[in-house]
Amino acid sequence: MAKTPPIHHATIIDSFDVENHNLKVGGVPLKQLAERVGQTPFYAYDRSKMTQRLAQLRQQMPSELKIHYAMKANPMPAVVQHMASIVDGLDVASAGEMKVALDTGMAANQISMAGPGKRPVELAQAIAAGITVNIESFNELEELAIQSNRLGIAATVAIRINPAFELKSSGMKMGGGPKQFGIDEEQVPAALKRLGALQLNFAGFHIFSGSQNLKSEAIIEAQQKSIALAIKLADACPSPIRKLNIGGGLGIPYFPGETPLNIAPIAEALDKEMQRAKQYLPDSSVIIELGRYLVGEAGVYVTRIVDKKYSYQQLYLVTDGGLHHNLSASGNFGQIIRKNYPLAIGNKMNWPEKEKTMIVGALCTPLDLLADQMECSEAEIGDYVVVFQSGAYGLTASPADFLCQPSAVEVLI
């Protein structure tokens, strides 16, 4: 099996075109793009990169696999609209996201809602919309039945299982051991029994064990265990499983030394598993749900340098953006050890003069750091700082109101 070499930040940056030292996003040189947007900071997402990523994935994965977009990664309506035109379904985590998903015209039966703490009104909205509700607890199941009776519409339900296994080497675990997500594997038969008694419309299972994984062996193992678990539970179901959502977890490399995910072995193993699933669960489609893998590499965050100063010989470039727009890049969104995201001076690409610098945001906190001791093109006030790998968990995953700074604009190119 061909091993992909570990990435260097340059690998990610080089996947964008450059013209006259200007980075191009979606074919538009950065300076021109900034003029078009009319302000910094902004996020720019390249739709062709999203389309390409999905096409590559489909080419490798079994043709019967359904690929859903988990829209919490990037819920910008234009992005979701674009994704809706190329994926098989949308996964939402709130009624707010459900609205954006329905607005795209995606069929309701290809939309599912997951997430703990769904309020009665959200459950009612989901039932009225006709989407699939992934149930996370026994109480939620009862409330869903109450709302279903009140509306006179049979709710479509999948049970989210908190599996006994965990996704190894995952950046963010969502299964294995006590969790707020899903119903513990051992309690699922009881939930299925209750679901049958409540006469709800049973769709299947949702098994999401974790996120941001770069180890294909770990993903293969989780997928095998998920499918085996569904097969094991099939007899306890009130009706045939129609949907088996085996989660996602496909990660993208952010830091030097990380290796892009090798899809080929995952696809090969999944193909075998899907053959098995077909035999035991003939009515079921198999779904994976992906967020960052589909959109993360398609987006950049662009800020402008507003100050350049030295503090005890250390150079600081101060930008007009920061962690209030891109918490992930600052290292404060779930990272244990802070590392630099790939970053470049976007109007001085391939610049001969370099300097080692700190790049910070405009917030009054030392946490507001975009680059720590990074070797960059020599930059001046007015130059653009571009943070790569920013298409997922960017603007909406950041504390926008912290320090009452102006907001960032988002564009899809």
Ligand X SMILES: *Cc1c(COP(=O)(O)O)cnc(C)c1O
Residues at the site binding ligand X, with contacts judged by CB under 6 A? 70, 72-73, 91, 114, 208, 211-212, 248, 289-293, 392
Give the C-alpha separation, 63 to 157, whole Å. Answer: 26
Nearer to ligand X by Cβ, of 22 and 245: the residue is 245
Distance of CA 259 to the CA centre of its chain: 18
Please state whether beta strands 66-70 and 156-162 pair in parallel, antiparallel, or not at all (unpaired).
Answer: unpaired
Find the residue with minimal CB distance to ligand X. 291
Give me the least distance between CB of 233 and ligand X, in Å please: 19
- If the CB atoms of residues 73 and 229 are measured against ligand X, the closer one turns out to be 73
Smallest distance, Å, CB 223 to ligand X?
14
Nearer to ligand X, 91 or 166 (CB): 91
Pairing of strands 170-173, 210-213: antiparallel
Distance in Å, CB of 220 to ligand X, minimum: 16
Q: How far is the CB of 174 from ligand X (least distance, A)?
A: 7
Considering beta carbons, is residue 125 or 211 the nearer one to ligand X? 211
Distance in Å, CB of 71 to ligand X, minimum = 9
Q: What is the closest distance, in whole angstroms, from the C-beta atom of residue 4 to ligand X in the complex?
A: 19
74 DSSP assignment: -
User: What distances in angstroms separate CA 305 from CA 367, 375, 378, 393, one per listed residue?
Assistant: 18, 16, 12, 23
Closer residue to ligand X in complex, CB, 70/90: 70
3-state SS assignment for residue 210: strand
Please identify, using beta-carbon distances, which residue of 23 and 392 lies nearer to ligand X: 392
User: What six digits make up the tokens of 340?
Assistant: 């630099």
To the nearest whole angstrom, how small is the minimum distance from the Cβ of residue 70 to ligand X?
4
Query: Which residue lies nearer to ligand X by CB, 134 or 377?
Result: 134
For β-strands 369-377 and 354-360, DSSP reports them as antiparallel
The runs of H, that is alpha helices, within 108-246 are 120-129, 138-151, 188-197, 216-233
Give the shortest CB-48-to-ligand X separation in angstroms: 20
d(CA 46, CA 1): 31
State the Cα–Cα distance between residues 333 and 369, nearest whole angstrom: 13
Residue (156 or 245) nearer to ligand X, CB: 245
Q: Which long-range contacts (CB under 8 A, 24 or more apart) does 114-123 make?
A: 114/160, 114/181, 114/206, 114/208, 116/180, 116/181, 120/146, 120/147, 121/95, 122/94, 122/95, 123/147, 123/155
Gyration radius of the chain's alpha carbons: 23
